[in-house]
Structure 1
Amino acid sequence: MTKQTFPNSLLPKNINALAAYSSAKSQKLTGSTWLNANESPYSKTIELSLSDLNRYPDPQPESVIQAYAQYAQLDKDQVVMTRGADEGIELLVRTYCKSGEDSIALFLPTYGMYKVTADSHNVTINALTQDLLLQGSSEQIVTAVGNSKLVFICNPNNPTGSTTELSKISAIAKALENKAIVVVDEAYIEFCPEQTASSLLQDFDNIVVLRTLSKAFALAGLRTGFMLANTKLLAPIRKVIAPYPVSRVVAKIAEQALQADAITQMRRQVTILNRAKTTLVQWLKECSAVDKVLDGQGNFVTVQLSNKADIDKAMQSGLIMRPFTLYEQDNWLRISIGNEQELEQVKNWLDALNAQQ
């Protein structure tokens, strides 16, 4: 009997042509020092006692929602818990964009899941630039946004670390009232909390803030995020979201992570990581093999090297960082802020590059 191949004719054209998001963990790499996924170097010890896993969980666990609302200084009806911020992105596109008709605006280079999500839902990409976002006026930005239904602003931006002033986000949202939703992705906001747009929710019904426990909270393996917005905007999201998106186990761990003492510990770790980042930036600027350092916010530093082969050598030695093609050049590298021992491996690599010059 001849084995039949799967007929691609069954696939919609947009899915057949889809370029999947390539995450740091999707690449089957081997190494000893992992600084490629913007993970926290701090691991947690969790204690769980659950005897009711035979029952479906609360779709939006009250204790977690209440705890995060308190942390974000919002009302609990302004918070929706999601499976990472990625589900928040998907829910916004699926809920507010018409397939084959609408578009989303984003500012490149930026987080790749905005494009992948739009492509998978047959929603057009209005590709703008980070230069426009950072240097253009709000009027210029709104003109470029045009009829796009969603406007994604990653703040701080991944992978550049740049931040957009709240006054500009506010001006964009005001100009787009009743026209578009401004989505502020704050995956890295704990590293610069004064930049949060959550305070703008009291004045705007067309702003959404996306958050995660993956970065500063050191729970990347939990896949937990939050969508913050006003109740009218969230109402249709609540209709579209899966009936049981949050497992009881995830809810228990998230609840522990949002206790007052755990938040204090998280902030202490952020202070340590920000200090370590300052040191790493200095090392990079002193390295003759490094052409440019993007000194932005977040638990990472993105740099351009003179020679791409130096990146390959680091990877081959077991020092795993994230190579990027930015601005049509393939010699960029994003380095996550690890612990003291991990960053010492980066220092050794940089010292070796200096010795070659």
Structure 2
Amino acid sequence: MDINQLVRKNVQQLTPYQSARRIGGNGDVWLNANEYPIAPHFELTQQTLNRYPEPQPEQVLDRYAQYAGVMSEQLIVSRGADEAIELLMRAFCEPQQDSILYCPPTYGMYQVSAETLGIKTKTVPTNAQWQLDLEGIKNNLDTVKLIYVCSPNNPTGNLINPEDIKTLLTMAKDQALVVIDEAYIEFSPQASVVTWLANYPHLVILRTLSKAFALAGLRCGFTIANKPVIDALQKVIAPYPLAVPVADIAAQALSKEGINNMKLHVLNMNNQKQKFAAALAQLPIVEQVYPSASNYLCVKFQDGKDVFNRLWNQGIILRDQSKSTGINNMTRITIGTQAECEAVISALSAIN
């Protein structure tokens, strides 16, 4: 029996998201997934594993609401922001009828989630400065229910112009939700649009504990929106999205001490990023180091494929972004520890 004949046609044709772990590699320096390089330490305090967890853990919601400056009713917690991306589509888009819109180069899960659910996609590429093409978006809004904008953007690392986001919100009023993916916002907190919620009922913000909170393995994300949006998401989310240990650790990470530790991580990471970018810019094989408001750098090499392969063979795992950005020889490098960044510089210097 050919089981593939039973698989939905759109899934048969689907190309899965190429996550860093799916791509693989075998090394000691992992700088391809935008993770924090040092694991935090937590002790489990909840031992009620014989019971189902709270559908929406109250302590986690209350602490994140206080941290984000919103009310608990404006939050829903999910298995990473990836689940939230899909929840929005399940709640607001009619399959084969409605569309989502996103602006490449950007995070690949917007497309994969839509194609998995049978929802149409529209793409309006960013301009040469990786900013929104507002006119192009305006001309493609028919059937669109959700507009995804990542800021700081992955993989390019740049912030989206806040005035352009306001223009987009005005443009989409009464037609679509504008979803601002702020997965990396802790590295540029001044750029958050969370304070705009009172003025824009169709604004949605995605957050995560995976990046600055150094908890990528926990899989805990948040959607911030006005109550009608949250109420709709509550209808389609799984009954117990967060396991007891996940909620336990998330609540600890969102304590006063946990948030202070995160801010210290961010300070150290941003300082490390500046030093790393300056060292990269001195290398003859580097053509350009792009500014970044996140925890990674996009670097254009003279021969990016050769650089990627040489470091890969030395156990230094980077991420080739030539295809996604449309710029040849583009490599994305996560900011690691000082020792990891020095290992990269040493390896690149040897190529010279």
TM over 0.5: yes
Match of 1:344 among 342, 345, 349: 342
Residue 346 (structure 2) pairs with residue 317 (structure 1): no
Residue aligned with 1:292, SS: strand
Q: What is the Cα deviation at residue 139 of structure 1?
A: 5.0
Q: Which amino acid aligns with 2:15?
A: A
Q: What is the Cα deviation at residue 232 of structure 1?
A: 0.7
Residue aligned with 2:148, SS: strand
Residue 75 (structure 2) pairs with residue 51 (structure 1): no
Give the TM-score of the pair, scaled to structure 1.
0.94
Q: Do the aligned residues in 1 keep the contact of 2:126 with 2:132 (CA within 8 Å)?
A: no
Alpha carbons of 1:136 and 1:119: their partners in 2 closer, same or farther (altered >3 Å)? closer
- Residue matched to 2:247: 251
- Residue matched to 1:131: 127
Q: Do the aligned residues in 2 keep the contact of 1:165 with 1:195 (CA within 8 Å)?
A: no
- Residue matched to 1:155: 151
- Residue matched to 2:218: 222
CA deviations 1:218-270 (Å, max 9, x no partner) are: 00000000000000111111010001111111111000000111111111110
- Residue matched to 2:333: 335
Alpha carbons of 1:108 and 1:196: their partners in 2 closer, same or farther (altered >3 Å)? same
Residue 79 (structure 2) pairs with residue 83 (structure 1): yes
Give the TM-score of the pair, scaled to structure 2.
0.96
Alpha carbons of 1:134 and 1:49: their partners in 2 closer, same or farther (altered >3 Å)? closer
Residue 190 (structure 2) pairs with residue 194 (structure 1): yes
Q: Do the aligned residues in 2 keep the contact of 1:68 with 1:258 (CA within 8 Å)?
A: yes
Q: Could you tell me how far apart the structure 2 residues matched to 1:39 and 1:141 are?
A: 32
Q: Which amino acid aligns with 1:295?
A: P
Q: What is the Cα deviation at residue 9 of structure 1?
A: 2.1
- Residue matched to 1:292: 288
Q: Do the aligned residues in 2 keep the contact of 1:187 with 1:212 (CA within 8 Å)?
A: yes
Q: What is the Cα deviation at residue 175 of structure 1?
A: 2.0
Q: Which amino acid aligns with 1:64?
A: V
Q: Could you tell me how far apart the structure 2 residues matched to 1:260 and 1:124 are?
A: 43
Q: Could you tell me how far apart the structure 1 residues matched to 2:333 and 2:130 are?
A: 23
For residues 89-238 of structure 1, the aligned pairs below 5 Å read 89-131=85-127, 135=131, 138=134, 140-238=136-234
Q: Could you tell me how far apart the structure 2 residues matched to 1:327 and 1:41 are?
A: 25
What is the Cα-based RMSD across aligned positions, in Å? Answer: 1.6
Q: Please, which runs of 5 or more residues in structure 2 have no aligned partner?
A: none
Residue aligned with 2:329, SS: strand
Q: Could you tell me how far apart the structure 2 residues matched to 1:136 and 1:110 are?
A: 11
Q: Could you tell me how far apart the structure 2 residues matched to 1:223 and 1:142 are?
A: 35
How many percent identity over aligned positions? Answer: 39
- Residue matched to 1:33: 29
Q: What is the Cα deviation at residue 149 of structure 1?
A: 1.0
Q: Please, which runs of 5 or more residues in structure 1 have no aligned partner?
A: none
Q: Could you tell me how far apart the structure 1 residues matched to 2:298 and 2:197 are?
A: 31
